[in-house]
Amino acid sequence: MTDKIKDLIKKAVDLRYQENFKEALEILEDLYKNNSDSLQVKKYLLETLLAYGGYLNDDFTLEYEKARDMFKRIIEIDPSNYRAYYNLGIANFNLSKIEEAKECYEEAIKIKPDYKHCLYNIGLVYENEGAFQEALNYYEKALEIDPKYPYASNARNQILSNLEELKRSKEENNHDKNLETLKSLLEISKRIRIDMIQSLLDIDKEKLYKVLIKCGKEFQCEIDGDFLIINKAKLPELIEFLDDLEI
């Protein structure tokens, strides 16, 4: 490498540190055009493209389209650059190009399967789409690589909390529907099968026995084989009891 090339590289690096990326890239692109076999020139060009792309991709700069151009240029020069694919994915995600973002992340993972940041970001894509189980899978993969990775850990915990809340909400909705069904059956029937009561309330036999004893002692219902005979005079009180019943 000649002294002139070394001096131009140094000038470009200084410009990069000053965030004067355009001038730095002009120097390095010109050098690369005439010295494409130089590993040093290629190295500094790629580093500057990545730094400028990151600067453009920042939440304060918001130049996502320009950022994409930087990362695409890196891939042209170095198709195996996983960091370029990863950052291109971020730019696409910021532009709401979700499928393109996912494709870029997946390319990065093909090149570097243990890239925890990329696995985490794929999880974010799936979470953004409402595919919580898929998101959870990728957060778990990131944590297999780094069990102390805070972003993946926090995201996983939040997903688990959301899934638990969703499950609980569904169970409550099903219980409410079943309870309404049981109340309607009690209103229109003189007797109702005991196993149907257990099924609609979704309770074990021990709790079922307590309910039946309560129905007999306080609401004057009777058991006839597999059926509970309803005392219509006490029906309003029975329904109020069922409304307050803790399952």
Closest CA to 9 of 23, 26, 27: 27
Question: Residue 152: what pLDDT?
Answer: 93
Quick check: is 165 in a domain?
Answer: yes
Using DSSP bridges, classify how beta strands 222-224 and 227-229 pair: parallel, antiparallel or unpaired. antiparallel
Same domain, 172 and 232: no
Same domain, 126 and 53: no
Quick check: is 222 in a domain?
Answer: yes
Number of domains, the chain: 3
Question: Residue 149: what pLDDT?
Answer: 93
Question: Residue 119: what pLDDT?
Answer: 96
Tens-place pLDDT, residues 37-73:
889 999 999 999 999 999 998 877 889 999 999 999 9
Amino acid letter, 83: R
Quick check: is 108 in a domain?
Answer: no
Quick check: is 160 in a domain?
Answer: yes
Inter-CA distances, 152 with 130, 135, 199, Å: 17, 10, 40
**What is the pTM for the complete model shown?**
0.67
Same domain, 153 and 91: no
Q: How confident is the model at residue 169 (pLDDT cuts 50, 70, 90)?
A: low
CATH number of the domain that residue 119 is part of: 1.25.40.10
Same domain, 1 and 75: yes
CA 76 to chain centre: 31
């370029």: which residue's tokens? Answer: 84
Which range among 144-153, 192-201, 212-221 has the greatest average pLDDT?
A: 144-153
